[in-house]
Amino acid sequence: MKKILITGASGFLGSVLLRKAAETWETTALHFAHAAQNPAHSRLLRADLTSGPDVEALFKNFRPDVIIHTAAQTQVDVCEADPSACRLLNVEATKFLAEKAQKIGSRFIYISTDLVFDGKKGNYSEEDPVNPLSHYARTKAAAERVVLETCLNAVVLRIAILYGKSPLHRYSFSEWLRQSWEKKQPTPLFADQFRTPIWVKNLVNALLELASSEFRGILHLGGSQRIDRYSFGKILANILGVSDALLIRKSMFDPSPSAQRPQDVSLNISLAKSILTTPLLTVEEGLRLAYRRQ
């Protein structure tokens, strides 16, 4: 059985990935700031990725075939408030892991984001130049360069916004909506900001297929539908039987948070579709699978 190392096991993507990977891989997963669940046939370790000694100790007697690096500071406003700490985790820790992967011959998959683009055109392909608007996005773009320069057997996987449920009850966009509606709370949603959302379990299946492939370089992975947040909310509300009255249509150009948000970072996933056999779902297909027992 091949060995896989997953960072960020207490995060939304990491926790779902850990459960699925443990079914077919000898799995070691890292967490730090928050508790994580330890499924059968896996090993769970607490490690500070910004600490050289912690990472050195991890790799002293451990040679994973694949490293999937999901850990990051992903909160845009937190990164604006503390840019140094954000860079330490998002760039420097990534560099250290990529160096280790290159040294021991591991395949390295770095989870990046659609937010490395400025959102001025949408339908971004892997060849389009990045132009990040926020400090968070700038650290992700910087880490992409580090990974590609450091590790030969590497993939920079730019993913779209995720939805679905987490075993650790981490909030995804869809879960924030569902829980707000359960409390009868109205949800303001942008009707003019576009992404290509992907169900987290759909992404995990594609990601593990990618882990076993020979593809190297940059790859975009999202759902097969460009959609705004308000329309996404309407689809979920219909599936859950929630009144449209709780959805408030808004513009992203209304008074906004401190960090800039791009308007259209929809991803062109043609390359992913050509190299992967995992079907990439539309929003309605993914939401119906994620919430079919609701």
Reading the block at residue 25, the tokens are: 């891989």
Provide the pLDDT for residue 59. Answer: 85
* Residue 102: CA count within 13 A, CB half-sphere: 15
What CATH number is associated with residue 117?
Answer: 3.40.50.720
55 shares its domain with 171 = no
pLDDT at 187 over 50: yes
Q: How much is the pLDDT for 106?
A: 96
Within-domain flag for 272: no
Flag whether 275 is in a domain: no
Same domain, 83 and 153: yes
Residue of 31 and 262 predicted with greater confidence: 262
Mean pLDDT on 154-161: 98
Based on the domain organization, do 87 and 183 belong to the same domain? no
Residue with tokens 């869809």, as numbered in its chain:
174
- Assess contact for 156 and 148: CB atoms under 8 A: yes
Residue 218: name the closest of 145, 274, 139, 119 by CA.
Answer: 145
Q: What is the mean pLDDT of the chain?
A: 91
Domain that holds residue 18: 3-162+197-221
pLDDT for 259 equals 58
Q: Cα 155 to the chain's mean position, in Å? A: 14
Question: Does 108 map to a domain?
Answer: yes
Gap between the Cα atoms of 61 and 64, Å rounded:
10
Indicate whether 190 and 99 sit together in one domain.
Answer: no
Question: Across the strands, what pairs with 110?
Answer: 69, 156
| pLDDT tens-digit map of 18-32 | 999 999 999 999 987
Whether the predicted pLDDT of 33 surpasses 70: no
Q: Tell me the two tokens of residue 123.
A: 């339908």
Domain count, the chain: 2
Asked if residue 74 is part of any domain, the answer here is yes
Provide the percentage of residues in the chain whose pLDDT is more than 70: 93
Do 157 and 174 lie in a common domain? no
Q: Are residues 91 and 111 in the same domain?
A: yes
pLDDT digits (tens, 9 = 90+) for 217-251: 999 999 999 999 999 999 999 999 999 899 999 99
Distance, in Å, from the CA atom of 26 to the CA atom of 41, rounded to the nearest integer, reads 7
Average the pLDDT over 253-263 and give the result: 73
Output the six-digit token pair for 44.
Answer: 């769970």
Distance of alpha carbon 136 from the chain centroid: 13
For residue 270, tell me if it sits in a domain.
Answer: no
Q: What is the pLDDT of residue 10?
A: 85
* pLDDT at site 253: 86
Residue 45 lies in a domain: yes
Q: pLDDT value at position 37?
A: 54
CATH of the domain at 260: 3.90.25.10
Task: Note the pLDDT of residue 294.
Answer: 46
CB 217 within 8 A of CB 145: no
What is the average per-residue pLDDT within 195-211? Answer: 98
The answer to whether residues 115 and 235 belong to one domain is: no
C-alpha dihedral sign at 130, 131, 133, 139: positive
130 CB contacts (<8 Å, ≥6 apart)?
116, 117, 141, 144
Higher pLDDT, 228 or 43: 228
If asked whether residues 82 and 116 sit together in one domain, one would say: yes
pLDDT surpassing 60 at residue 36: no
Do 179 and 57 have their domain in common?
no
Same domain assignment for residues 100 and 201: yes
Angle between helices 229-240 and 173-182 (to 10 degrees): 50
Kindly state whether residues 181 and 241 are assigned to the same domain: yes
Per-residue pLDDT for 282 more than 60? yes
Same domain, 47 and 127: yes
